[in-house]
Amino acid sequence: MAKCFALMGWSLPVIESMQKLGKPYVVVSFPDFAPYAAEHNIPFVPYQLDEWSDTSNSLDLVEKLKPYNADVAVPLYEETVEWAGALNSIYRNDPRVLNRAFLFRNKAIMKRKALIGGLRVGLFEEVYSKDGVKAFMKRLNEANLQLQGEEDSWVHIKPFASAGTVGHRLLKSMAQIDEECEDSDFPCLAESHLPGREFSCEAFIHKGKIRFLNITEYVKLGYSNFIPEGNYLETKRELIHKQVQKMVDIFGIEFGMVHPEWFLTENDELNFGETACRIPGGHILELCSKSYEFDALAAFVVSHDPNATEEELDAIFPPKGFKPKYYHGNVMIYPHKRQFSKLEIPEELNNDPYFIEHSLVPPYEGQKISGDRGGFGNHFGTINFKGEDPDRMTELLKHYQKVDFYV
């Protein structure tokens, strides 16, 4: 087992999981968290993780972590992936670990590596201006044999290194490029629209092999999901497992957890969207913990440890062949209006047998939503459900993402 895990980023749930597990750890995060850490006896190293400089670099950080005997770094959030990669390159004496971290953080590099390895990906290109996006859309139209008067081929643009849907735009026409794109969007990755049913996986990797695979059913990306997967995706589990392992082999992933997103077509072909190697959004690992009855956050940390034994892994992961008894799902709630005054919880929600709890926060007086919202914006809380029927779960999540709780 690792001498000490360096947790890169601040997450109270992960800290609590490590305390329950009884494993040594140290948190590396911004100095703002130092008073809380001191008050609650949390081992802590304050560090400016938002810059690389002579006074803020991995060699300097290694020295600061030596008193804690840290030998495994774990990225909790997107912005700490390079830091963990740099530290683990030093701890393992393997520079390719850092190269893989850069691959995770640059979607263009990621797509090229996937393409070289034989994964199905769409057409993609780095673009630097509106004209670049228009030229890319024009080439897509030509490749799709579009006739004059037909709608343009859809184009997605996204930042190279942002998490989730932040900065993501779906452009369906040349006119929309002029209307919606801003100079601040560039440079970025442009890619063709991928067909198929979108879902994600959470694959815990140890020594290059999948130790545990979760499949998350997306009801609506960025809004709602549930675990385990529904009836249809369950029939494709063997296919999905094989494809995820192929991705792991192509990218040379040895330890940790990957969070790839895929598109399953009607012909049982899997198109690769992208992948990450940190805690996913949407409370996915929380849902995974509930359904599979284990601590997914602790497992996420331990899977980064090259020295973890099979016995230690067996103790933390669900037994092989474990079948969840219940589906756990949630819907993240976003206000439908820019200005609202109160929170209203429908009585039908309180009376539904699948409803567990919610974390919706009442607004302050005259609260408004600003026009500048990254991705889907910040949700105001989550509604959690638990039940035995995935189809009923789907219906509930679809319904409540349309309900306006803030009026």
pLDDT at 377: 47
Position 118 in a domain = no
CA 44 to chain centre: 25
Is 79 found in the same domain as 11?
yes
pLDDT at 121: 95
Is 303 found in the same domain as 211?
yes
State the residue range of the domain holding 240: 196-325
Number of domains in the chain: 4
Q: Which amino acid is at 302?
A: V
pLDDT at 80: 95
Give the pLDDT confidence of 331-366 residue by residue, as tens digits.
Answer: 999 888 878 888 999 999 999 999 999 999 888 766
Q: E strands of 261-381, at which residues?
A: 261-264, 270-274, 327-332, 355-358
Write out the chain's pLDDT in tens, 407 residues: 899 999 999 999 999 999 999 999 999 999 999 999 999 999 999 999 887 776 679 999 999 999 999 999 999 999 999 999 999 999 999 999 999 999 999 989 999 999 999 999 999 999 999 999 999 999 999 999 988 889 999 999 988 877 666 678 889 999 999 999 998 999 999 999 888 999 999 999 999 999 999 999 999 988 999 999 999 999 999 999 999 999 999 999 999 999 999 999 999 999 999 999 999 988 999 999 999 999 999 999 999 999 999 999 999 999 999 999 999 999 999 888 878 888 999 999 999 999 999 999 888 766 666 544 443 345 789 999 999 999 999 999 999 999 999 98
Is 59 found in the same domain as 99?
yes
pLDDT at 114: 97
pLDDT at 163: 64
Give the pLDDT confidence of 166-178 residue by residue, as tens digits.
Answer: 678 889 999 999 9
Is 278 found in the same domain as 340?
no
Position 407 in a domain = no
Position 115 in a domain = no
Is 316 found in the same domain as 200?
yes
241, 262 Cβ separation under 8 angstroms: no
Is 346 found in the same domain as 320?
no
Q: Are strands 5-8 and 25-29 parallel, antiparallel or unpaired?
A: parallel
- Among residues 170, 192, 214, which one ends one of the domains? 192
DSSP letters of 347-371?
A: HHHHH-TTEEEE---PPPTT-B--S
Q: What is the DSSP letter of 268?
A: S
Position 356 in a domain = yes
